[in-house]
């Protein structure tokens, strides 16, 4: 059951990503030969117009296969024969659709449960928050000069900046105050804490507020992904602390089982939260300027705009192939790391 739920979530996110490429390609007049979910042998499929719509054996992945995308074509509607700005837009809209999906799912989630605002429900004894005079009922409005909209942003910010002094802006009885907290490392939880507890309840939002908070949710997810990548690149976290496909499937399964005890609504809410996280992550990852990713292709298009002529197709092919091999190697390492964490 866990794997089935994970496949459904991954498939929905991937289809939406590829839909961004597909709809933009069609709008630009590019011939799309195939729109598929998965890789490998075709399980089922049908042709409508000039496009084959297929479901392939390996469910993790998908493709919008365009005429003249990876090879030269004499067809005027080939991807490679379109103006560079159209090719740039077609590739860009895959990740942008991931962010659009995150916005839609966030709006659904916020409409269903509301928002937990960054209000302090309580302070822990002998921790920085209490020592600085923070009290239950105070609302944190900014951390390190960055506006805060959700309670969960506080723990995320402390996680990423736990070794730093953090400036905190908060309101009490309508008055704004500012203080500085130095997080304290907690041996039991193995993380830095400032010693506050959440309000524990969610506040309902109007339709206009839902749209605004959905935007902030996307910003929050992008920030988390970008900071996590920064910590990985700078060696502050290791690959063992990163979850790959196996780890994500296990997380989905564990979350599903825990939510099932509380009923269908909690399953819906928690699976929706995971989907928001994954689609925002996929959007950010695909924008990285790395060969074989959408971001790597965008770099080639930018170079073409500057040089006013495309890079040799063979060169781009070799670079993308090298990038693909490196990505597969990294994926294998992460999968083995996931398995080690599960069975060790």
8 A C-beta contact, residue 118 and residue 148: yes
Q: Look up 217 and say whether it is catalytic.
A: no
Q: Which helix (H) or strand (E) holds 240?
A: none
The residues that bridge with 58 in the sheet, in sequence order, are: 39
8 A C-beta contact, residue 30 and residue 78: yes
Give φ, ψ of 308 to 5 degrees.
65, 25
Q: Which of 18, 67, 69, 153 is catalytic?
A: 18
Residues 6 or more apart whose Cβ sits within 8 Å of residue 137 = 119, 120, 172
User: CA 99 to CA 23: how far, in whole Å?
Assistant: 16
Nearest to 306 by CA among 97, 84, 113: 84
User: CA 223 to CA 236: how far, in whole Å?
Assistant: 17
In 3-state terms the chain splits into helix, strand, coil percentages (rounded to 5) of: 55, 20, 25
Do the strands 196-197 and 122-123 form a parallel or antiparallel pair, or are they unpaired? antiparallel
Query: Which tokens belong to 68?
Result: 């003249």
Give φ, ψ of 60 to 5 degrees.
-90, 95
For 192, the 3-state DSSP assignment is strand
User: CA 125 to CA 195: how far, in whole Å?
Assistant: 8
Residues 6 or more apart whose Cβ sits within 8 Å of residue 304 = 84, 310, 311
Residues annotated as catalytic are: 18
């Amino acid at each position: 059951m866990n794997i089935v739920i994970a496949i459904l979530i991954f498939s929905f996110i991937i289809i939406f990503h590829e839909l961004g490429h597909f709809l933009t390609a069609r709008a630009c007049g590019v011939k799309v030969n195939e729109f598929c979910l998965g890789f490998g042998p075709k399980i089922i499929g049908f042709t409508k117009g000039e496009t084959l719509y297929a479901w392939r054996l390996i469910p993790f992945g998908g493709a919008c296969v365009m005429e003249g995308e990876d090879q030269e074509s004499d067809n005027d509607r080939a991807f490679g024969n379109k103006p560079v700005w159209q090719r740039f837009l077609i590739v860009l809209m895959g990740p942008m659709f991931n962010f659009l999906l995150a916005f839609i799912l966030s709006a659904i989630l916020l409409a269903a449960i509301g928002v937990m605002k960054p209000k302090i429900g309580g302070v822990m004894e002998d921790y920085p928050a209490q020592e600085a005079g923070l009290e239950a009922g105070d609302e944190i409005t900014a951390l390190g000069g960055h506006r805060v909209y959700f309670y969960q942003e506080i723990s995320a910010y402390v996680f990423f900046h736990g070794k730093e002094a953090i400036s905190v802006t908060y309101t009490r009885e309508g008055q704004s105050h500012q203080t500085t907290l130095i997080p304290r490392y907690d041996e039991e939880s193995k993380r830095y804490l400032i010693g506050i507890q959440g309000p524990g309840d969610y506040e309902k939002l109007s339709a206009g507020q839902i749209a605004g908070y959905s935007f902030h949710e996307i910003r929050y997810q992008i920030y988390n992904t970008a900071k996590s990548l920064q910590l990985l690149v700078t060696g502050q976290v290791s690959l063992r602390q990163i979850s790959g496909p196996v780890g994500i499937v296990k997380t989905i399964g564990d979350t599903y089982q825990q939510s099932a005890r509380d009923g269908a609504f909690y399953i819906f809410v928690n699976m929706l939260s995971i989907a928001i996280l994954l689609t925002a992550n996929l959007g950010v990852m695909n924008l990285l300027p790395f060969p074989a990713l959408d971001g790597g292709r965008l770099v080639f298009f930018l170079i073409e705009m500057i040089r006013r002529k495309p890079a040799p197709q063979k060169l781009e092919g070799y670079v993308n192939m090298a990038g693909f091999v490196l990505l597969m190697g990294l994926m294998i390492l992460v999968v083995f790391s996931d398995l080690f964490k599960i069975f060790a």
